[in-house]
Amino acid sequence: MKKGLILFFILLFVALAFGPANAARDKDTIVIVQGVDPTTMDPHNHMETPAWNLHIQLFDTLLQRDPNIKMEKLMAESYRIVNDKTWEFKIRKGVKFHNGEDCTAANFKFSLERMADPKNKLRQTVFQGIIEKVEVMDDYTFRIHTKKPYPVMDAMLCVYGQPLPIKYFQEKGPEHFASNPIGTGPYKFVRWVKDDYILLEANENYFRGAPKIKKVMFRPIPEATTRVAALQTQEADIVTNIPPHLMKMMDWKGRSYVSKAPSVRVIFMAFDTTKPGPQADKRVRQAIAMGVNMETNIKKILDGNGIRLGSPLTDKHFGYDPSVKPYDYNPEKAKQLLAEAGYPNGFDFILNSPNGRYLNDKEMAEAVAGDLRKIGIRANVKTFEWGHYMNNMMYAHNAAPAYILGWGNTSFDADFTINPLMRTGLLLSNVSFPKLDALIDEGISIMDQKKRQKIYSDAAKVIKDEVAWGWTYQQIDIYGVNERVNWKARTDERLVAFDMSFKK
């Protein structure tokens, strides 16, 4: 009987051992490793970078960002602002979807209006309440009518608004589309084995020319050390999100190299000034800002892979003002300010932080708390699981006195950072500065970009003066690349296979 059991197990094991193998990892396939699988192939229905990195191969947008984050035209041949509430786009002719359908203005109307309709319950809501309707002028011209002036339309269209093939989408439905996408992009979808790999192949008829690399495979590997191992065994060509201390494992002469780029993502410590406590006093906030040695912390905790910022914007974000610098590290002055504010003997302080959501977030929080303890503030870190953090602390405005968060604004326009994070009354905002509110409201409602630049400059100064944030830095993303690949990391965290090639 037991012999039978053992035999059964062995047979079962052998039978299952020859499951679907990884598609032949041949020389023509580039293997890109991210941390997670995308959740869907529907370009309008997700909000995660790993999904963007898939969709950027399959779909095109009207506009795009070049590696220096300059806006350039992609599917749009030209565009102009007709009036405060109307944008007109002329698109390229002769672009076809992977299944042969033509891409015309009607496809854009279909897609943009789909995104703008709350009834579709899509996870991208940027155009809801913004786009009134899309008017098709002729096969290759259309106008977007907005409900109110929307100066960031072009910035948004660099990221959102991929056209969908109407006939295919309506015949098969969104659920089927989410696993079998059809777009206009440089790569066609071949196969998706969930949590295992995604296989794409070159679209030879792509309107910018056939891509140099013929096959692309994406694999999700959650564990950072395992990702690096995949690079070392040459199973992977590009690996993402590498913690700094693993960098030395990836720099192998002749086998692999490290590629870094300042990230679109900023990490910051924000105060809740609306709740009672020492942090409601500006002088205390200033003291905290001066009492934390971010230079050293970045150097040590991140091995220098971070850039200190003086405002919530990076230098690539429109509205950035380089003259607004962070507070200098000055623990003596900090102690003075604390005494002035009435806390000569410090006070108890809790710093709330997520755990593992951002690179070394918990470590950074602990390092910061350590600095604060040196100037007399009895600081302690409380970490939370992400779901709990978002639900019960962020959304419930329950994270006083201070908390850590990250923000990756790929529209590269100031409004999408400052507005959701600091405008009074919004979900993620725990401050209330009337001067700032006025600037924010004005900035999103006028079309004159020069005036907007000045507005956001002023906003940055208000933010620094009021010390809404104790500190902030821009991450530096670290990638590992196989020696045979030509590629440089991008600030917007995008992996554009079309721009990649193999070295001869």
Partner 1 sequence: MSTLEHAAKSFEFSGEDRRVARWRKILQKLRENKGAMFGLAMVLAVILSAIFAPLLSPHDPILQDVEKRLLPPVWQTGGDPSFLLGTDHLGRDIVSRLIYGARISIVVSVSAVVFSAILGTLIGLLSGFYGGNVDNIFMRIADVQLAFPFILLAIAIIAVLGPNLQNIIIVMGITGWVIYARVVRAEILSLREKEFITSVRALGGSNGRIIFNHLFPNVVPPIIVIITLEMARMIIMEAALSFLGLGIQPPTPTWGGMLADGRVYLATSWWLATFPGLVIMLVVLGINLLGNWLRDILDPRLTQL
Partner 2 sequence: MKFYILKRLFHSIFVLVGISLVVFIILHLTGDPAALLMPMDATPEQVAQFRKEMGFTDPLIVQYGRFFKGTLHGDFGLSFRHSQPALDLVLERMPATIQLTAAAMVIALIIAIPVGILSAVRRNTILDHIGMTGALLGQSTPVFWLGIMLILIFSVTLQWFPSSGRGNIWNLVLPAVTLGMFTMARTARMMRSSMLEVLGQEYMKTAMAKGLSPRMVILKHAMKNALIPVVTIVGMELGTLLGGAVITETVFAWPGVGRLAVQAIYNRDYPVVQAAVFILATIFVLVNLGVDILYTYLDPRVKLE
State the minimum distance, in angstroms, from the CB of residue 269 to partner 2: 17
Token pair of 177 as six digits: 């589309």
Stretch that binds partner 2, among 256-264, 313-321, 330-338, 418-426 (CB under 8 A): 418-426
Residues 6+ apart with CB under 8 A from 107: 163, 164, 165, 166
Rounded to an integer, what distance in angstroms lies between the CA atom of residue 202 and that of residue 87? Answer: 33
CB 154 within 8 A of CB 65: no
Residue 218: its H or E element: strand 215-220
Rounded to an integer, what distance in angstroms lies between the CA atom of residue 388 and that of residue 502? Answer: 44
Counting contacts by CB under 8 A, is residue 425 touching partner 2?
yes
Stretch that binds partner 1, among 180-188, 271-279, 296-304, 434-442 (CB under 8 A): 296-304
State the minimum distance, in angstroms, from the CB of residue 300 to partner 1: 4
The residue among 208, 160, 217, 216 whose CA lies nearest residue 42 is 160
Counting contacts by CB under 8 A, is residue 388 touching partner 1?
yes
Assign 3-class secondary structure to 236-294: CCEECCCCHHHHHHHCECCCEEEEEEEEEEEEEEEECCCCCCHHHCHHHHHHHHHHCCH
Q: Which of 297, 417, 430, 475 binds partner 1 (CB under 8 A)?
A: 297
Rounded to an integer, what distance in angstroms lies between the CA atom of residue 198 and that of residue 278? Answer: 51
Binding partner of 380, given partner 1, partner 2, none, CB within 5-8 angstroms per partner class: partner 1
CB 227 within 8 A of CB 247: no
Assign 3-class secondary structure to 90-153: EECCCCECCCCCECCHHHHHHHHHHHHCHHHCCCCCCCCCCEEEEEEEECCEEEEEECCCCCCH
Counting contacts by CB under 8 A, is residue 44 touching partner 2?
no
Binding partner of 173, given partner 2, partner 1, none, CB within 5-8 angstroms per partner class: none
CB 473 within 8 A of CB 266: yes
Q: Which of 28, 66, 171, 196 binds partner 2 (CB under 8 A)?
A: 196
Counting contacts by CB under 8 A, is residue 342 touching partner 2?
no
Stretch that binds partner 2, among 297-305, 414-422, 457-465, 495-503 (CB under 8 A): 414-422
Binding partner of 410, given partner 1, partner 2, none, CB within 5-8 angstroms per partner class: none
Closer of 123 and 435 to partner 2 (Cβ): 123
Q: Which of 83, 170, 179, 180 binds partner 2 (CB under 8 A)?
A: 179
Counting contacts by CB under 8 A, is residue 363 touching partner 1?
yes
Counting contacts by CB under 8 A, is residue 133 touching partner 1?
no
Residues 6+ apart with CB under 8 A from 301: 360, 363, 364, 367
Omega of the bond prior to 401 within 30 degrees of 0, cis? yes
Counting contacts by CB under 8 A, is residue 26 touching partner 2?
no
Binding partner of 12, given partner 2, partner 1, none, CB within 5-8 angstroms per partner class: partner 2
Binding partner of 301, given partner 2, partner 1, none, CB within 5-8 angstroms per partner class: partner 1
Rounded to an integer, what distance in angstroms lies between the CA atom of residue 478 and that of residue 145? Answer: 41
Closer of 9 and 386 to partner 1 (Cβ): 386
Query: Residue with structure tokens 């409201």?
Result: 441
Q: Which of residues 205-234 bind partner 1 (CB under 8 A)?
A: 224-225, 228
Angle at 270 between CA 343 and CA 493, to 5 degrees: 150
Closer of 387 and 434 to partner 2 (Cβ): 387
Q: Helix or strand or coil: residue 10?
A: helix
Counting contacts by CB under 8 A, is residue 300 touching partner 1?
yes
Q: Which of 131, 198, 230, 367 binds partner 1 (CB under 8 A)?
A: 367
Helix boundaries (H) for 341-448: 361-374, 386-388, 415-422, 434-443
State the minimum distance, in angstroms, from the CB of residue 12 to partner 2: 5
Residues 6+ apart with CB under 8 A from 131: 112, 113, 115, 116, 144, 145, 146, 147
Counting contacts by CB under 8 A, is residue 180 touching partner 2?
no
Counting contacts by CB under 8 A, is residue 267 touching partner 2?
no
In the chain, the N- to C-terminal Cα span, in Å, equals 60
State the minimum distance, in angstroms, from the CB of residue 348 to partner 1: 15
Counting contacts by CB under 8 A, is residue 380 touching partner 1?
yes
Rounded to an integer, what distance in angstroms lies between the CA atom of residue 240 and that of residue 282? Answer: 39
Counting contacts by CB under 8 A, is residue 383 touching partner 1?
yes
CB 319 within 8 A of CB 414: yes
Q: Helix or strand or coil: residue 33?
A: strand
Counting contacts by CB under 8 A, is residue 101 touching partner 2?
no
Counting contacts by CB under 8 A, is residue 483 touching partner 1?
no
State the minimum distance, in angstroms, from the CB of residue 189 to partner 1: 34
State the minimum distance, in angstroms, from the CB of residue 291 to partner 1: 15
Query: Which chain residues interact with partner 2 by CB under 8 A?
Result: 1-2, 6, 9-10, 12-13, 16-19, 21-22, 36, 39-40, 42, 45, 47, 118, 121, 123-126, 128, 174-175, 178-179, 193-197, 219-223, 225-226, 229-230, 232-233, 235, 385-388, 390-392, 394-395, 407, 416, 419-420, 425-428
Residues found near partner 1 in the complex (CB under 8 A)? 224-225, 228, 243, 245-246, 248-249, 296-297, 300-301, 355-356, 362-363, 366-367, 369-370, 380-385, 387-388, 392
